[in-house]
Amino acid sequence: MTSRTAERVGAAAVILVMLALFLLVRAEPEALKPLGLLQMNDLRAEAGETDTVTRTGTVTASVSTVDVLEVLGASPEDATAAAIALREASPTRGQRLRQGTPLSAWFEASADGRERLAGVSAKLSPKATLVASRSADGRFTANLLSARTTTVLHRVAGRIDTTLADAILEGGGTRQHAEMFAGLFPEDPVLGQGGRKGERFDAVIEVIADERGNFLEAGDLVFAAFNGQDASGSWYRFTPEDTGLPEFYSGSGIAGDEFLLRDPVRGAQMNSGFGNRLHPITGEMLLHAGIDFRAPIGTPIRAAGSGLVTDMRWGDGYGWFVRIRHERGYETVYAHMSGFAEGLTPGRTVMRGDIIGFVGSTGSSTGAHLHYEVLRNGFYVNPVTLALPTGRDLSGNKDVFAAFEAQRDTIDAFRNQAPGGQLFAAANSARMANAPAP
């Protein structure tokens, strides 16, 4: 191959690579709309007023921050300097920005009339943004800006028109809120499938809002009431101070019927029971210390009860697994998972019905399923035949019951004042018992 031919091949390869990057980043030029977060960190006051333009892109598995900035129009030197500044100011210092992180880069005209990178912002979460700005000496300085937030209550109430999930989503909730709502009324399996048209529901959720009242992200479901064909009632989320474990209680302070769910994978078929059996891989007669639920990979797995996540890792035959410690000497184990729920970590408290991971076939497994174990005081017990204790009655503890009543009354007062969809400031649910009624 001649040198000229090699040069042409090399040039074509560069063009193809740049084209691929442009397709991945999908830059969208637009006139800059000043944002409060960017203005707070603008270190170019000496430069005077200049015309700027902003372009957006997204970090992906194959496109780094530097790649995105170069495609958006930054020079390699500026892109590298800005990316380093962002990385050093990030909470995960030294690590690249997470896949899916949106970037906004703004440019201004330099003395020679060319565009140069003036700054870049990376939205890490609804509440946190990294901003890097060019200072007068040409260097980039970055800061992590956290929005000033408050927890507010948001009511979603009305009638089911299509499905419960659609109604709650339309009102500002999430599908997880709808799933947890339906799980509080297990006597009506139709509600878990969407409910019936015309059935009435009332939900109160916590949301995170900024100081201007803008919605940032959804929080916990704190109240659920339903009036349907086969089920009705009201449930209040409350965290007793003596346990620190959140749970839903009736208006009289009594928790749900059973202490633990017997089916962490909703609607799945049990395909292997508790007891001695021939191991499907080794052929040995061994104790099968739990029960198995067959379900497709990726099916959500729910915590059987409120408790503390004490372990989550790879465990030889278990594959990816999670262990949760509950009250009264109980523990539950969930094995062969394909992955964990986002944000789940050892030491985190979960509620009954919370999604903790997803069905998989990791470890010693012959197919997609959940292996579910229950231990009582350190000994394996059969989750199917186990006589589970009923829910706790808070009236047995005078102080705890008084705190519950205060929180219940706060939620009811809010519901009486707020029509469906209205926002109202309130304390965090874990502290709501001490908050005055709105």
Q: What's the pLDDT at 408?
A: 95
Do 169 and 115 meet the contact criterion of CB atoms below 8 Å apart? no
Note whether 101 and 120 are same-domain residues. yes
Q: How many domains does the chain have?
A: 3
SS (HEC) of the chain: CCHHHHHHHHHHHHHHHHHHHHHHHCCCCEECCCCHHHHHCCCCHHHCCCCEEEEEEECCCCCCHHHHHHHHCCCHHHHHHHHHHHHHHCCCCCCCCCCCCEEEEEEEECCCCCEEEEEEEEEEECCEEEEEEECCCCCEEEEEEECCEEEEEEEEEEECCCCHHHHHHHCCCCHHHHHHHHHCCCCCHHHHCCCCCCCEEEEEEEEEEECCCCEEEEEEEEEEEEECCCCEEEEEEECCCCCCCCEEECCCCEECCCCCCCCCCCCCEEEECCEEEECCCCCCEEEECCEEEECCCCCEEECCCCEEEEEEEECHHHCEEEEEECCCCEEEEEEEEEEECCCCCCCCEECCCCEEEEEECCCCCCCCEEEEEEEECCEEECCCCCCCCCCCEHHHCHHHHHHHHHHHHHHHHHHHHCCCCCEEECCCCCCHHHCCCC
Q: What's the pLDDT at 27?
A: 39
**Cα dihedral 331, 337, 341, 344 sign:** positive
10-residue mean pLDDT profile of the chain (438 residues): values are 53 49 41 31 40 84 86 90 88 74 87 84 83 89 82 90 93 87 85 90 88 76 93 92 86 82 83 71 70 92 92 91 91 94 91 91 89 91 79 90 95 84 46 34
Note whether 245 and 338 are same-domain residues. no
Q: What's the pLDDT at 129?
A: 86
Which CATH number covers residue 75? 3.10.450.350
Note whether 185 and 140 are same-domain residues. no
Q: 176 in a domain, yes or no? A: yes
Note whether 371 and 341 are same-domain residues. yes
Note whether 296 and 209 are same-domain residues. no
Note whether 189 and 112 are same-domain residues. no
Q: 289 in a domain, yes or no? A: yes
Q: 211 in a domain, yes or no? A: yes
Q: 14 in a domain, yes or no? A: no
Q: 16 in a domain, yes or no? A: no
Which CATH number covers residue 336? 2.70.70.10
Which residues in 407-429 are b (16+ Cβ under 10 Å) and which e?
bbebbbebbeebebeeeeebbeb
Q: What's the pLDDT at 431?
A: 35
Q: 33 in a domain, yes or no? A: no
Domain residues for the domain of 301 are 269-381
Q: 43 in a domain, yes or no? A: no
**Best CA proximity match to 88, nearest among 35, 140, 36, 148:** 140
d(CA 275, CA 289): 6
Q: 179 in a domain, yes or no? A: yes
d(CA 130, CA 285): 57
d(CA 385, CA 142): 58
